[in-house]
Structures are given as C-alpha cells and as structure tokens.
Chain A
C-alpha cells in the first residue's frame, strides 16, 4: 500500500464548476500538507502549504486537512480552462528529512 493515495482521474468538469480533489494517507506522523499544480511537461507549482489540521483559503483555492481521518482536500472555485492540469498532493512529517511523499496526481480537465 502506498503512503499517499490519490485518484489519477481524469476529472472532467464544466467551466465555472467547483473542482474537488482529495488524498488519503497512512502515516499519522505527517504534519505538513501541500498541493501542487503541474502543467504538461512542466515543473510542479506550489499552490497551498498547510500545517496540521484545519482549512486554508487563498483566492479561488481552499485546502482542508482532517488528520483524524488522514484525508486532505483541495477545492477550486469558479474553475477555468486554464485550471486544466495535474494536481499533486504532497506531505511530510518531523522525520521526513526533506523527503516529501507525493500522490500520483489527479488530472483535471475544465471544459469551456
């Protein structure tokens, strides 16, 4: 079993809809949770960085962490065709020593 599980998709939504992405994990020591966006053949771009449980909002993006369920989510409001990309979750803990554990990524397609 992988430490971080993420549905690969593709997830297709119409423009303007809310995109809902999630990851589950098995290591209860994880405390830092990240979401990255990766366009085809490009490097990942950091979208959200959160510590421990709770919600964080930044513009159209909301990240949620539920450590009791070992479950994290990313919501994208008012989705645009430019949001079409692969979204990667990543996480680490006090004993990770620089080694972020990444999910496999979810491909999102926003159709006009």
Chain B
C-alpha cells in the first residue's frame, strides 16, 4: 500500500514569492493534515481538511491557506513568503471522522527554503 506522498521534495523561493506544496493521502483516507516543522520548534499544526472542508486551523496567519480536492489530495499555499517560513512541511492523512483523533500517517515532507 502506497503511503502519503508529497511534492516537491525541495522548494527554494525568495522572500515575497508564493509557494505551493502538494500532498496525496493514503488510498481510502479522507482527512489530510498539514504541519510545519521548523528547526528547534517541533511540529506545529497548520490545517486539517476532511471531505473537502477545512475543519480546523492552527495559529498561523491567513497567508497560509490550502484546499482539498475531490480525490482527497491537498495543496498548501503560502503567500508573501518570509524568511521564517523556511521549514519542513509535513502532510499526514487519516481515515477521517468528525473528531480528528484517528492515527495520522505522515509523508516525507517538502523542505521549503526562503532566501
């Protein structure tokens, strides 16, 4: 069974640009989660999508946004990039449900570098 996939592996942008990160969940999973893992800060929750709807978002500014497509894949958009946005962005998927407490399975991440 294929795991969670993310693309691209690496992304280099300059300050002020926009970045788009993509995620495909495990087959059969309907929930997708996005986390930011910055150096020394641990995993910080960004967004949760289930059945195409945004269910919850973490304490990040509105320039972090995303969406989930009918095939349950998802993309994360980061507008007006700042240097401190440089981090590993991790996508996870789960079997879904209204509580969001199901086990989450992570992809390999996209490393975003903002110059």
Q: Is there a chain A Cβ closer than 8 Å to B48's Cβ?
A: yes
Q: Is there a chain A Cβ closer than 8 Å to B43's Cβ?
A: yes
Indicate if the CB atoms of A105 and B109 lie closer than 8 Å: no
Chain A residues bordering chain B, tally (CB within 8 A): 26
Partner of A46, one of B50, B100, B104: B104
B residues within 8 A CB of A102?
42-43
- Contact indicator per residue, chain A 43-57, by CB within 8 Å of chain B (1) or not (0): 111100100000000
Indicate if the CB atoms of A100 and B90 lie closer than 8 Å: no
Closest to A51 in B: B101
Indicate if the CB atoms of B56 and A88 lie closer than 8 Å: no
Indicate if the CB atoms of A99 and B103 lie closer than 8 Å: no
Indicate if the CB atoms of B109 and A46 lie closer than 8 Å: no
A46→B105 CA distance, assembly (Å) = 6
B residues within 8 A CB of A31?
101
A43→B26 CA distance, assembly (Å) = 14
